[in-house]
């Protein structure tokens, strides 16, 4: 077993006070930092994604223009490249991150698999290069980018866990539904304390 950690979109715009902030986002950032302090050695790869949109256009209809966002397919402008909102939340310690993935340049992109690293390599290529077989997924938001990333990971043949204490969602109903859907798809829904149990 060779395990990776995916840290999905822990960015200022997705945390409290951001353009599309979710409740509990900052706590998720701090919680992931604690996980890394205690369990970094158990991961062969730590990959963090950022939504990274163009400020020049509506990113393929992803940003609501001349209409109210529906918060399903259209959203307030968020995570525009080079802005403070697109940066990682300050409570997330990024020093342990091996690979930074950016996605959504000019298009809607929910899954980390839609992004590339700084060298332009796809996530699939990065996972193959490290021989990854198992992935733990944490971050924001449960009902959108965490959901899409975990489903894609299963699709790519990975054994996947999502830690419910280290995710936060846009809405309660859709977050509950997303976790149920992930469970049906074969994702293990757990709390990050399973790492402590495994270590003892
Ligand atoms: Zn976006």
**CA 88 / ligand 1 centre spacing (Å):** 14
pLDDT, residue 199, reads 67
* Triad 149, 151, 153: Cα angle to 5°: 70
- Inter-residue contact 69 to 29 (CB < 8 Å): no
pTM: 0.97
* The one catalytic residue among 13, 51, 103, 152: 103
- Inter-residue contact 50 to 14 (CB < 8 Å): no
- Inter-residue contact 137 to 192 (CB < 8 Å): no
pLDDT, residue 198, reads 77
Q: What topology is assigned to 3-199 in CATH?
A: Rossmann fold (3.40.50)
79 is catalytic: no
pLDDT, residue 62, reads 97
Residues near 49 by beta carbon (within 8 Å), at least 6 away in sequence: 6, 7, 8, 9, 100, 101, 102, 103, 112, 115, 139, 145, 149
pLDDT, residue 200, reads 61
Q: How far, in Å, CA of 77 to CA of 146, rounded? A: 19
* The one catalytic residue among 9, 13, 51, 136: 9
Question: What is the four-CA torsion angle of 114, 66, 85, 173, rounded to 10 degrees?
Answer: -70
pLDDT, residue 128, reads 98
Question: What are the sequence ranges of the domains in the chain?
Answer: 3-199
Q: What are phi and psi of 163, to 5 degrees?
A: -95, 110
Q: What is the DSSP letter of 142?
A: I
Classify strands 45-51 and 3-8 as parallel, antiparallel or unpaired. Answer: parallel
Give, for all 200 residues of the chain, the pLDDT tens digit: 999 999 999 999 999 999 999 999 999 999 999 999 999 999 999 999 999 999 999 999 999 998 999 998 999 999 999 999 999 999 999 999 999 999 999 999 999 999 999 999 999 999 999 999 999 999 999 999 999 999 999 999 999 999 999 999 999 999 999 999 999 999 999 999 999 987 66
**CA 78 / ligand 1 centre spacing (Å):** 6
Q: How far, in Å, CA of 180 to CA of 182, rounded? A: 5
Instruction: For 9-87, list the strands marked E by DSSP.
Output: 45-51
**CA 58 / ligand 1 centre spacing (Å):** 10
118 is catalytic: no
**CA 27 / ligand 1 centre spacing (Å):** 21
pLDDT, residue 141, reads 97
9 is catalytic: yes
**CA 108 / ligand 1 centre spacing (Å):** 6
Distance between start and end Cα atoms, the chain:
18
Q: Which residues surround ligand 1, an ion (CB under 5 A)?
A: 51, 104
**CA 7 / ligand 1 centre spacing (Å):** 16
Which residues, listed in sequence order, are joined to residue 3 by a DSSP beta bridge? 134
């Amino acid at each position: 077993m060779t395990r990776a950690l995916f840290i999905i979109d822990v960015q200022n715009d997705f945390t409290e006070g951001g353009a599309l902030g979710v409740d509990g986002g900052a706590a998720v950032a701090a919680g992931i930092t604690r996980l890394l302090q205690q369990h970094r050695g158990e991961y062969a790869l730590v990959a963090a994604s950022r939504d990274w949109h163009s400020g020049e256009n509506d990113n393929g209809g992803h940003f609501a223009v001349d209409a109210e966002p529906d918060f399903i397919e259209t959203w307030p402008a968020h995570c525009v490249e080079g802005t403070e909102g697109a940066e990682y939340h300050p409570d997330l310690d990024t020093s342990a991150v091996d690979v930074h993935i950016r996605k959504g340049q000019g298009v809607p992109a929910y899954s980390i698999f839609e992004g590339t690293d700084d060298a332009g390599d796809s996530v699939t290529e990065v996972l193959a290069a490290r021989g990854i077989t198992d992935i733990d997924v944490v971050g924001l938001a449960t009902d959108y980018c965490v959901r899409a990333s975990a489903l894609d990971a299963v699709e790519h043949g990975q054994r996947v866990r999502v830690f419910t204490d280290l995710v936060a969602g846009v809405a309660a109903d859709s977050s509950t539904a997303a976790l149920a859907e992930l469970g049906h798809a074969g994702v293990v829904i757990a709390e990050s304390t399973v790492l402590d149990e495994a270590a003892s």
